[in-house]
Amino acid sequence: MAHGAHHSPLLTPRPDLELARECEMCLGWGTVVTRDGDHELCRTCQPLPEDDEAVARPDA
Ligand SMILES: [Zn+2]
């Protein structure tokens, strides 16, 4: 139970799988795993917002 700054485990980015389909970077997942083990949107195929942390929408 010594987990430090773990952000939101449930906050997985939602990629557009249509865009990711032919992407060699993420192999169709639309997300890539960072060195920290977090998932983030694939920068190759997914349109990223300008601000990384500005994407805070309530999940409808
Ligand atoms: Zn991709």
What would the pLDDT profile of 19-57 be if each residue is shown by its tens digit? 999 999 999 999 999 999 988 899 999 986 665 555 556
Residue 47, pLDDT score: 87
CA of 14 to the centre of ligand 1 (A): 12
CA of 13 to the centre of ligand 1 (A): 13
- Cα 41 to chain centroid, rounded: 3
CA of 15 to the centre of ligand 1 (A): 9
CA of 1 to the centre of ligand 1 (A): 34
Check if the beta carbon of residue 25 is closer than 8 Å to that of residue 51: no
With tokens 């997985």, the residue in question is 12
Residue 17, pLDDT score: 95
The dihedrals phi and psi of 18, each to the nearest 5 degrees, come to -65, -40
CA of 31 to the centre of ligand 1 (A): 6
The DSSP bridge partners found for residue 33 are 39
Question: DSSP H helical segments within 1-60, as ranges?
Answer: 17-20
